[in-house]
Structure 1
């Protein structure tokens, strides 16, 4: 990590696969994760510990986490909806656990069937459970502030409430919070404003990353705003697959290939070999022949004479 300017967290095996009809085989998931790690992707969210009846596409998450743990240098992340999910993630060996705290309470009730009060109780229980573990075995625990930029159900979301929930989560003892544009409503000015307010109220070290969607074409603009203000981790999905199945119309993660190209062209090191990354896309497309994949860089190819920051 010392030689990386911006950390890319690949969320395709979780956020991408949960939103498509195809159920990718466990072996294909393992091949995808191994290939992206070999391309230099430092962190991959490999699945979600939700009941298989809710999201059957991710029923094999425990096995996938255990496999990903065997890849040297890879930070293995997983999403959990509650304490039970966190227990399963801990047992499987995830390095990082994320839980969604939807600022839109309506979305929270649809997504995880819990109110704000109930979610904060779950977060508190998870913090206490992690503290019971030996110090060297504690996973990093992040709260993702979902629908922080707006909600397809409620509409505009109060920025004051975003900050209030961030403050409450940090007070409970989470390692950090993340801003999540679940519905693709966000714009660069809004992202900078929210980031500054959370830094002012929670401490700069408590907010490092953003999860952005490209639903309205603002994904890379928002990613650039995040870099400009000083955020250091950006989530993205290979081929731009995925979205939230409980937020109508929330398709369109940022395309990992386009994000890496932009950052590397700017002279920012991601640690990722972009040519190897483009080859991973072919592997995933072969495993998901019925699913559409997005991205301008894969279609156009790298510019003639392009020199990446990583490795230069």
Structure 2
């Protein structure tokens, strides 16, 4: 460790020189909390994350309050972020009504949330995979007409708690369908954290073979089995430059009980900076932000890097 609390920089060959971290803590992280976080705390959390240099901070979700009560304050939260560029603040929309709400508040980047498996599509959207794609079609088309960037999240890309391992071809089919509908970017979700590096690289290669460019793929790993950083490194070796992470390791998935926390942003930044990969993120400010949020939530963070750096003080 250096005197500044940063890793020694030792680049590895064949990796990207810069990575964009897609921060999901304020949305994917807080939606899984048992208690509802006050709107003002959420707004401050997002501002602190942006000030730490994270280029993309997913702000909230325009889902029906009945399904995700923790994010029922989207209309109240988004105006509190007016001083930030809306291009930095993606929001999740489940359907056309959600899109209407997001556009009315000036959102410029949205995401839809699909599934590679029938079981999770039923649990999360109460639809089949193809019915969900049909629901997304007008949402994506209208967003593109409004010149709004669209991300397609895909859950259960590697394994499903009901169906077990997910065939690579099955995931590729749904990814290809989302791109064909007009998504600008895909986020491959290892929702229950069962992926391993070989599986990651096999899926990425299969997507390329199906005409999905690496430049339009992001990865979203969960650390259920301690594989998130190993899987991230495998993705870097393939050329992936967009990686989802959650400050302090917040989050999981309310519809899949075996989905534990997301890859912690601090752990990701520590590894990337050690590899000499630029992120634009100030690790000290990020760590301070996650310590502050952990205190607001009344519980410690699972991030190993955050614990190491905060105990070092």
Could you tell me the TM-score, scaled by structure 1's length?
0.90
**Partner in structure 2 of residue 18 of structure 1:** 31
What SS does the aligned partner of 2:58 have? strand
CA distance, structure 1, for counterparts of residue 267 and residue 87 of structure 2: 21
What SS does the aligned partner of 1:234 have? strand
**Partner in structure 2 of residue 222 of structure 1:** 231
| 2:56 is aligned with 1:57 | no
CA distance, structure 2, for counterparts of residue 257 and residue 131 of structure 1: 33
Deviation at 1:93, TM superposition (A): 2.2
| 2:271 is aligned with 1:262 | yes
Deviation at 1:132, TM superposition (A): 3.3
Greater Cα offset, 6-15 or 76-85? 76-85
**Partner in structure 1 of residue 145 of structure 2:** 132
Alignment of 1:1-312 (within 5 A): 5-72=18-85, 75-133=88-146, 138-204=147-213, 207-289=216-298, 291-301=299-309
What SS does the aligned partner of 1:101 have? strand
Deviation at 1:182, TM superposition (A): 0.9
CA distance, structure 1, for counterparts of residue 100 and residue 203 of structure 2: 31
CA distance, structure 1, for counterparts of residue 173 and residue 167 of structure 2: 10
**Partner in structure 2 of residue 310 of structure 1:** none
CA contact (8 A) 2:187 2:218 kept: yes
CA contact (8 A) 2:215 2:240 kept: no
Deviation at 1:72, TM superposition (A): 4.4
CA distance, structure 2, for counterparts of residue 111 and residue 206 of structure 1: 28
CA contact (8 A) 1:195 1:207 kept: no
CA distance, structure 2, for counterparts of residue 92 and residue 228 of structure 1: 39
Deviation beyond 4 Å, 4+ runs, structure 1: none
Greater Cα offset, 254-263 or 121-130? 121-130
Greater Cα offset, 74-83 or 255-264? 74-83
Which deviations, in whole Å up to 9, do the C-alpha atoms of 1:10-59 show, x marking residues without a partner? Answer: 11111111111121111101111111111101101111111111111101
- 1:16/1:123 Cα in 2 relative to 1: closer, same or farther (>3 Å)? same
Structure 1 portions without partners, runs of 5+:
305-312
Deviation at 1:296, TM superposition (A): 1.4
CA contact (8 A) 2:109 2:148 kept: yes
Which deviations, in whole Å up to 9, do the C-alpha atoms of 1:209-230 show, x marking residues without a partner? Answer: 1111001100111111111111
CA contact (8 A) 1:69 1:93 kept: no
What SS does the aligned partner of 1:17 have? helix
Deviation at 1:98, TM superposition (A): 1.3
- 1:72/1:103 Cα in 2 relative to 1: closer, same or farther (>3 Å)? closer
CA distance, structure 2, for counterparts of residue 103 and residue 43 of structure 1: 25
Which deviations, in whole Å up to 9, do the C-alpha atoms of 1:193-219 show, x marking residues without a partner? Answer: 111111221331563211110011001
- 1:191/1:205 Cα in 2 relative to 1: closer, same or farther (>3 Å)? closer
CA distance, structure 1, for counterparts of residue 22 and residue 66 of structure 2: 27
CA distance, structure 1, for counterparts of residue 230 and residue 129 of structure 2: 30
